[in-house]
Amino acid sequence: MDHPKQMAAAAAGLTDDLIIEILSPLPVKSICRFKCVSRHWRSLITHPEHRRKLPQTLSGFFYPSRRLDEENDNYPDFVDIFGDEEQPFSNPKLPFLTGYRLIIPLMCCGGLLLCFCWKVSPRDEADYIVCNPATEKFVALPESDYDTAAPGYRLGFDPVISSHFHVFEILEGHKDYGYITGVNIYSSETGQWSHNGNGWIDDELQVVYSRGRIYICINKREIRLTKERGVTYNYAKPTSG
């Protein structure tokens, strides 16, 4: 018997429980690749009961809904990429966020959702909310002490590294468009904002969060912001190649 046939015979002898046990610690990209092994493996990975053991598997996307409800309010909507009737939460409109007439999802990270929410109030008042649609727990971010225009907010959360999340408020100067003056960082551990300003200039904001750090590409330099027992800022030129 040649080698490919031996491998196929060995794979055929794996039980469903053993397959899920082997796949459970793998990253999401590997999980997606293993869906292509066979129809049986795909059905195992996408089964609702098994997906609970594969928390890294992407379940869907939130997006701002353009449809108004009966009270002319606007709420988020959700697309399930598996097409299952059973969603990982009860209602994509996030009804547990009471007192808001407009909820706009901004970004998702690690299962948490950052939203901009307009209050039911005669005055123009709004909150930035970080919530978990599955557990219906949420936090309204306090206002930072730095009155500066903020063109972008980024959410950072990695449950493997920490149970706490961070929100990065990218600050822009009042006069000059594209002048990045610094960043405010909110920590759910302390419930407070911290600040760092250094006068970075760029006309295009490129930000990504990965493994406990947020990376900002400004002036062809890579700025790594890390929040572990305080805030550390590392500046480096990206490697060419």
Mean pLDDT value of segment 83-102: 69
Angle (CA) 51-55-58 rounded to 5° is 80
Mean pLDDT value of segment 27-40: 78
Length of the chain: 241
Q: Which pLDDT does position 21 carry in this prediction?
A: 84
**pLDDT band for position 43 (50/70/90)?**
confident
Contact of 156 with 191, CB cutoff 8 Å: no
Angle (CA) 95-97-99 rounded to 5° is 105
CA distance 175 to 177: 7
Angle (CA) 117-122-123 rounded to 5° is 65
CA distance 87 to 127: 26
CA distance 28 to 111: 13
Encode pLDDT of 142-175 as tens digits: 988 765 555 678 888 877 778 889 888 877 765 5
Token pair recorded at residue 128: 């930035």
Q: Who's near 121: CB < 8 A, 6+ residues apart? A: none
Q: Which pLDDT does position 134 carry in this prediction?
A: 78
Q: What rounded mean pLDDT belongs to the chain?
A: 70
For residue 92, how far is the Cα from the chain centroid? 16
Angle (CA) 199-218-232 rounded to 5° is 70
Contact of 97 with 131, CB cutoff 8 Å: yes
Q: What pTM does this model have?
A: 0.58
Mean pLDDT value of segment 191-198: 78
Give the residue, 26 or 228, on which the prediction is more confident.
26
Tokens 């997606």 -> residue: 32
Mean pLDDT value of segment 82-102: 69
Give the residue, 205 or 114, on which the prediction is more confident.
114
Residue-wise over 7-41: b if at least 16 C-beta within 10 A, else e? Answer: eeeeeeeeeeeebbeebeeeeeeebeebeeeeeeb
Q: Which pLDDT does position 46 carry in this prediction?
A: 78
Instruction: Name the residue ranges covered by the structural domains of the chain.
Output: 3-51, 62-134, 149-236
pLDDT at residue 140 above 90? Answer: yes
pLDDT at residue 27 above 60? Answer: yes
